[in-house]
Structure 1
Amino acid sequence: METTANKNSVKSERLMSLDVLRGFDMFWIIGGGALVVSLSKLNALSFLEPVAIQMRHVEFEGFRFWDLIFPLFMFISGVTIPFAILSKVDKGISKKSLQFRIVKRAFILVILGLLYNGTLQKGFADMRFASVLGQIGLAYFIGATIVLQAKSVKVHALWLLVILVFISVLQLFVPVPGYGAGWFDPVKGMNAYVDQLLLPGRLSVGTYDRLGVLCIISASVLVLMGYFAGRLLRQPNITPNRKALYLLGTGVLFILFALVLAPVYPVVKSFWTTTFNFLTAGISLVLLAVFYYVIDVRKLRGRVFSHVLFFFKVIGLNSITIYMAARILPFREISGFFTGWLVEPAGTWIMIAGAITLEWLLLYYLYQQKIFLKV
């Protein structure tokens, strides 16, 4: 996410807050969530049980912290668009070349998603096409293509509105054959109908896929919302304090909007409803505002705080790498080889902490060697 100074952009600098926020997000996936759950089982730390509950997805309708992890990552990918794509347009790189990069990125992420799903391990007969990485790639492809090819910010906003309305109308008002309209149900919902109609291969829940066709299209809204946040951060004529305030205020409004609509249009991550988009985008905006203000505006750098920032930054700079590595490499087993004798008296948390340490040391090595694997 390199930025370049020119007449349309701010002074060239990398926003550390984005790397730290991305690393903070990825930390929970690579073991942070499991660590909290394990610690909450200790008698001395039983007060962590309410926090541990937040480290699990809701069964269907509703929201917990764990439901934010994936949308936050997608939102951040959108924030980088003005820096990673529009800055290159400003430098004269052709849109054709940039569009090819976007397509290439989507293709690679879809392939990595298939690998993550265990396609090579389990074979092609029962393969699942939908994946986290595939959804990131395809939703980013939709959002980034709109930003690159549309002629103005107004058109970008219009596309965002069109996708929101399209998803909302489908889920609320278009009848599913045999069931009718407005069902938020694993069998009767529009997402289930579309996935069974269009998505090949195995579906994650049998009747639908949590990362299915409508989820991908709807998730592109988060990419576009992130893009508008990134565009604000890149504006040279707005003070950093005002940028943080605008992000915070918009985030709070989005959260309130989602909560007001939730009784009639429920928050359902598995269906990626519009209310889910607004709620997660709102929380993402609030987090971005806080991280941006503390790290890039106030530039707080206390000794301990600097170490914490660096810890998350190292993760954030190679997020896709560690996501795949944590799937392929047996970090927890390796940790158990060295800490197994401590697990029984101390608890499984020590093995999980060891795995996180090994993951971070791998990322630190890549950081030291200036190896940043990006797609």
Structure 2
Amino acid sequence: MTQSNFNSKRIESIDVFRALTMFLMIFVNDFWTLTNVPEGLQHMDAQVDAIGFSDIIFPAFLFIVGLSIPFAIKARRNKGDSNGPILVHVFKRTLALIIMGLFMVNFESINADLLLINKYAWELIMGLAIFLIWTLYKPAKKNQKKTILQLTGLALLIFLAVIYKGGSNDNVLWMQTHWWGILGLIGWAYLLNTLIYLFFGRSLVILWIVFIVFHVLNIEEFASVTGIPNLKFVISASMHVAVCAGMIVGSVMLHFKALEKEKLFLLFVLVLGIVSLVYGFALRPYWGGFSKVRGTPSWASVCIGISCLSFLVLYVIVDKLKFKTWTNLFKIAGTNTLTCYLIPYFIYPLVMIFALSLPDILLDGYIGLLKSLVFSFIVIGITALLNNINIKLKV
């Protein structure tokens, strides 16, 4: 790729990175259906000082959320949007992610014995409601029909909230925020970092200061280094720092695109990745070890390093060498990411309702892992089919 191409062409590796991350997220999220999954592939328990393969997928997605923010803001400004319309879009998107995450995380602690309907029917209705509300309806579709569908989805969510029962039979609870769910965590981290970029993104110095502040707040969650109470922006600072790291990489990419200095960008990502890895391993004994569940700063730093180097490799392969035919297997997940994430919320409850099952041999060990890989491709295929008939979630 020439330097002029670096300045003018779309960065396809961003979509590929997002698609690959979503594909792997579906893969590891299917491990609950298997037995004898190799320990190194699983999520590690909260008190175990280790990082499993599953523990690096979500922070990679947070990184790609941050990586996309500078490009999204730039695109909207190029269309003539001022901060006002952009803020409206950001808040609407955040609210959608938080609402979806709230319902999903509460399904995990639902009390099937006290529920008015079958718990898997509750999950199916949740998925249907989300599609009705947040499907990307064609502009040609009559506003009245769109409004009716969205109001129907809203009514279904309200119904699910009204009948919800959680907790134990002796201590019945209504819906709680718990840990917000994956989409909720993304929503909160996206909101704070996007607001920062919207008002201060033109200054890389300020973005670096914010990154350092987030990291210090992450350390404060485990040991006081400033002598002041830990300040928490709703969720762990480890989430914010992962998004901020991606946001800095995206900002630096835009900066060097304008200067047509691709090599400096590549060098920056390489150095940031290596430094993050070395730093994460170096501070491991001091700030809680490695733990995704607890969101330790050492885990966050190592995952940022892995994300940087992974993106660098993908950029070289896809954007520089133009070797991208292989991405056709899953690239739809990079543009229809939310749709792809929601498909299992239909498949799993249908399997449970109709008591469908596979032979145990297909659910065990390495054969089981192959089954989960096939499941990921099935989800990708369903997403592609839905896209072909213009069904796509968009927030």
Same fold (TM over 0.5): yes
Alpha-carbon displacement from aligned partner over 1:137-164 (angstroms, at most 9, x marks no partner): 0111000100001262222222222222
Alpha-carbon displacement from aligned partner over 1:35-54 (angstroms, at most 9, x marks no partner): 7995x96xxxxxxx75x532
Say which of 188, 195, 205 aligns to 1:154: 205
The answer to whether the Cα contact below 8 Å between 1:79 and 1:223 also exists between their aligned partners in 2 is: yes
Name the CA shift for 1:240/1:31 in 2 (closer, same or farther; >3 Å): same
The answer to whether the Cα contact below 8 Å between 2:269 and 2:309 also exists between their aligned partners in 1 is: yes
Report deviation, 1:353. 5.4
Tell me the TM-score normalised to structure 2 length. 0.70
Partner of 1:373: 393
Q: Secondary structure at the match of 2:51?
A: coil
Alpha-carbon displacement from aligned partner over 1:171-222 (angstroms, at most 9, x marks no partner): 31279xxxxx9xxxxxxxx99xx99xxxxxxxxxxxxxxxx9441x431111
**Cα separation, 2, equivalents of 1:331 and 1:295:** 37
Partner of 2:92: 104
Name the CA shift for 1:274/1:366 in 2 (closer, same or farther; >3 Å): same
Name the CA shift for 1:287/1:173 in 2 (closer, same or farther; >3 Å): same
Alpha-carbon displacement from aligned partner over 1:18-77 (angstroms, at most 9, x marks no partner): 222222212223235647995x96xxxxxxx75x53233344332122111111101000
Larger relative CO (CA 8 A, sep 6+): 1 or 2? Answer: 2
**Over aligned residue pairs, what C-alpha RMSD do you find?**
3.4
5+ residue gaps, structure 1, are 1-8, 42-48, 176-180, 182-189, 196-211
**Cα separation, 2, equivalents of 1:174 and 1:345:** 51
Alpha-carbon displacement from aligned partner over 1:230-258 (angstroms, at most 9, x marks no partner): 12222322444443332122101110011
Partner of 1:272: 295
Name the CA shift for 1:117/1:292 in 2 (closer, same or farther; >3 Å): same
Name the CA shift for 1:309/1:104 in 2 (closer, same or farther; >3 Å): same
Report deviation, 1:357. 4.2
**Cα separation, 2, equivalents of 1:107 and 1:98:** 14
Partner of 2:224: 173
Segment of structure 1 superposing worse, 271-280 or 322-331: 322-331
Say which of 261, 270, 280 aligns to 1:258: 280
Matches within 5 A, 1:34-53: 34=30, 50=38, 53=40
Name the CA shift for 1:373/1:34 in 2 (closer, same or farther; >3 Å): closer
The answer to whether the Cα contact below 8 Å between 2:340 and 2:379 also exists between their aligned partners in 1 is: yes
Matches within 5 A, 1:1-375: 10-13=7-10, 15-31=11-27, 34=30, 50=38, 53-60=40-47, 61-118=49-106, 120=160, 122-123=164-165, 125-129=173-177, 130-150=180-200, 152-173=203-224, 213-215=234-236, 217-234=237-254, 235-236=256-257, 237-265=259-287, 266-301=289-324, 306=325, 308-330=326-348, 333=351, 340=358, 343=359, 349=368, 352=372, 355-369=375-389, 371-375=391-395
Segment of structure 1 superposing worse, 235-244 or 313-322: 235-244
Identity of aligned residues (%): 24
The answer to whether the Cα contact below 8 Å between 1:244 and 1:290 also exists between their aligned partners in 2 is: no
**Cα separation, 2, equivalents of 1:37 and 1:287:** 28
5+ residue gaps, structure 2, are 1-5, 108-159, 167-172
Q: Which amino acid aligns with 1:19?
A: D
**Cα separation, 1, equivalents of 2:197 and 2:210:** 9
Partner of 1:46: none
Aligned residue pair count: 320
Name the CA shift for 1:27/1:55 in 2 (closer, same or farther; >3 Å): farther
**Cα separation, 1, equivalents of 2:305 and 2:73:** 24
Q: Which amino acid aligns with 1:277?
A: A
Q: Which amino acid aligns with 1:100?
A: V
Name the CA shift for 1:339/1:102 in 2 (closer, same or farther; >3 Å): same
Tell me the TM-score normalised to structure 1 length. 0.74
Name the CA shift for 1:35/1:310 in 2 (closer, same or farther; >3 Å): farther
Report deviation, 1:311. 1.7
The answer to whether the Cα contact below 8 Å between 1:74 and 1:136 also exists between their aligned partners in 2 is: yes
**Cα separation, 2, equivalents of 1:231 and 1:112:** 29
Q: Secondary structure at the match of 1:172?
A: coil
**Cα separation, 1, equivalents of 2:342 and 2:363:** 27
Q: Secondary structure at the match of 2:323?
A: coil
Name the CA shift for 1:368/1:232 in 2 (closer, same or farther; >3 Å): farther
Segment of structure 1 superposing worse, 219-228 or 157-166: 157-166
Q: Which amino acid aligns with 1:270?
A: V
